[in-house]
Homo-oligomer: A and B are copies of this chain.
Amino acid sequence: MTGSGTVPAVPRPAYRRLSVEERRAQLLAAALDLFAHRAPEDVSLDDVAHAAQVSRPLVYRYFPGGKQQLYEAALRSAADILEGCFTEPETGPLTQRLSRALDRYLAFVDQHDAGFAALLQGGSVVETTRTTAIVDEVRRTAADRILHHLDAPEPAPRLRMAVRTWITAVEAASLMWLDADKQPPLDELRDWLVDHFVALLTVTAATDEQTARVTRAALRTETAEGPVAELVRRLLPVLGDASHLL
């Protein structure tokens, strides 16, 4: 166990027997850490037993379904962490809330790089309708949280499509970032994704009444020092060549 995962290993004092729950959590943390850094194909039950410093039969006692069950349990705990990323107090400018959520999400991607890529690129032997359902649930939850922050918990199709499309774009950009040896720096990637959100919401507002309402409300919360103002300032010279369109 490298300790780089976001689920810390349960402390294992030398002479105390772990409770059933502690042992299960320890095995799961070891599994998540292994699945985070290798393709599922390259993780064996022996690896998990070795990382947790227990015997292989003990792993089987807790996870009789073997690697598939361990993978699904590890994915479940990863999904809980990811869904937590989008939990954020409903105060302050929207871009600030989104930046904080993205910081957490991108830190997770950074810490679980190989596993994240293997999961989303698909084609893995451990992929089942259950694992696909867990991934879809994370996307749905993230969309619901964002719509909640937009004060539109029951959005019409156009607004929902905009938010869900952006979430797919975040996933895709995260995969490209991993593929590009983690370039550009995470804060640049985060700021670009926030700008992308603002832009997508704004152009959707051009043709959708509900989105126009939530966009105007969101813009009112932004400050003259915030990212939207910064974006507008940087865009003015680019848009200078578009004055014939006004």
Complex Cα spacing A84 to B69, Å = 44
**Interface SS majority for chain A:** helix
Establish whether residues B184 and A203, one from each chain, have CB atoms under 8 Å apart when the complex forms: no
Which of B188, B232, B245 contacts A232, CB < 8 Å?
A: B245
Question: C-beta contact mask, A208-246 vs B, less than 8 Å → 1, else 0?
Answer: 000010011001101110101101101101111110111
Copies of this chain present in the complex amount to 2
Known contacts A235-B205, A245-B222; is-contact A164 B158 (Cβ 8 Å):
no
Interface size of A by CB at 8 A reads 60
Q: In chain B, what residue has the closest Cβ to A213?
A: B238
Q: In chain B, what residue has the closest Cβ to A240?
A: B216
Does A103 touch B at the CB level, under 8 Å? Answer: no
Chain B residues whose C-beta falls within 8 Å of the C-beta of A58 in the assembled complex: none
Complex Cα spacing A193 to B184, Å = 25
Which of B122, B199, B202 contacts A127, CB < 8 Å?
A: B122
Q: In chain B, what residue has the closest Cβ to A131?
A: B123
Known contacts A168-B168, A183-B157, A199-B200; is-contact A228 B245 (Cβ 8 Å):
yes
Complex Cα spacing A32 to B205, Å = 38
Complex Cα spacing A200 to B200, Å = 8
Does A20 touch B at the CB level, under 8 Å? Answer: no
Establish whether residues A238 and B206, one from each chain, have CB atoms under 8 Å apart when the complex forms: yes
Complex Cα spacing A158 to B205, Å = 26
Interface residues in chain A, defined as those with a beta carbon under 8 Å from any beta carbon in chain B: 121-123, 127-129, 132, 157-158, 161, 164-166, 168-169, 171-173, 176, 180, 183-184, 188, 191-192, 195-196, 198-200, 202-207, 212, 215-216, 219-220, 222-224, 226, 228-229, 231-232, 234-235, 237-242, 244-246
Complex Cα spacing A229 to B244, Å = 9
Establish whether residues A229 and B245, one from each chain, have CB atoms under 8 Å apart when the complex forms: yes
Complex Cα spacing A171 to B192, Å = 21
Within the complex, what minimum Cβ distance (angstroms) separates A118 from chain B?
Answer: 13
Known contacts A127-B122, A219-B241; is-contact A203 B207 (Cβ 8 Å):
no
Chain B residues whose C-beta falls within 8 Å of the C-beta of A222 in the assembled complex: 242, 245
Known contacts A173-B161, A207-B191; is-contact A242 B228 (Cβ 8 Å):
yes
Of listed A129, A234, A242, residue having the most chain B CB within 10 A: A242
Q: Which 10 A-B pairs have the closest CB atoms?
A: A168-B172, A199-B199, A206-B234, A229-B245, A195-B203, A122-B122, A219-B242, A216-B241, A199-B203, A205-B238
